[in-house]
Amino acid sequence: MITFVAIGILLWLLGLSLSSPEGFLQASAVMDSFIVKFIMWGILTALAYHIAGGIRHMMMDFGFLGETLQTGKLSAQIAFGITVVLSILAGVLVW
């Protein structure tokens, strides 16, 4: 449910910024706040985690990853590491 709200916020901001030059200035003004930047970073981090976990599960479903406990733990750690890297990159992008 929260993912849909996050995508709605991102699409609203995108639509506002692409509507006109004035809309872009409004979107830029919205993004000037620290709280909005923090929320945007949180949304991007959650979406990165969702994507990394989804790719992990797809690879498991297609049989590219084994179905043992060790492989599951390792793939979860790799997915979490990728999420950390993407979270840092999202922070650089937002700030």
Summarize the annotated binding site as residue ranges: 50
Provide the annotated binding site for heme: 50
Tell me how far apart the alpha carbons of residues 83 and 38 are, in angstroms, rounded to a whole number.
17
Alpha helices in 1-65 (DSSP H): 2-19, 21-30, 34-61
Task: Report d(CA 66, CA 72) in Å as an integer.
Answer: 8
DSSP 62: T
